[in-house]
Amino acid sequence: MSSERASQRALIARPWSPEEDAKVLTLTRQGKPLIIIAANIRRTVSAVRSRRDKLLAGQAQKAGSSASR
């Protein structure tokens, strides 16, 4: 396996850190494009898109549950 492919696999396989989650949300709120966010945290654009959508859905769900109390 080439070193480029090995490093790509390492980027795909590692779990998301709370710091990365925070950076995705912060940069998203600042209107940064996905490609910039992905480069900033060394993830693929599709990985960042998927994580961003999951994080935003979780926030919307939390906001909805607290509003109904």
**Claim: this prediction has a pTM higher than 0.85:** no
- According to the model, what pLDDT value does residue 66 have? 75
Domain count, the chain: 1
Assign 26 to helix, strand or coil: helix
- In sequence order, what are the residues at sequence separation of 6 or more whose Cβ sits closer than 8 angstroms to the Cβ of residue 48? 24, 34, 37, 38, 41
What's the pLDDT at 7? 65
* The pLDDT value given to residue 19: 98
Domain limits for position 39: 3-67
pLDDT tens over the chain, length 69 residues: 567 776 666 555 789 999 999 999 999 999 999 999 999 999 999 999 999 999 999 988 888 887 666
Supply the pLDDT for residue 61.
85
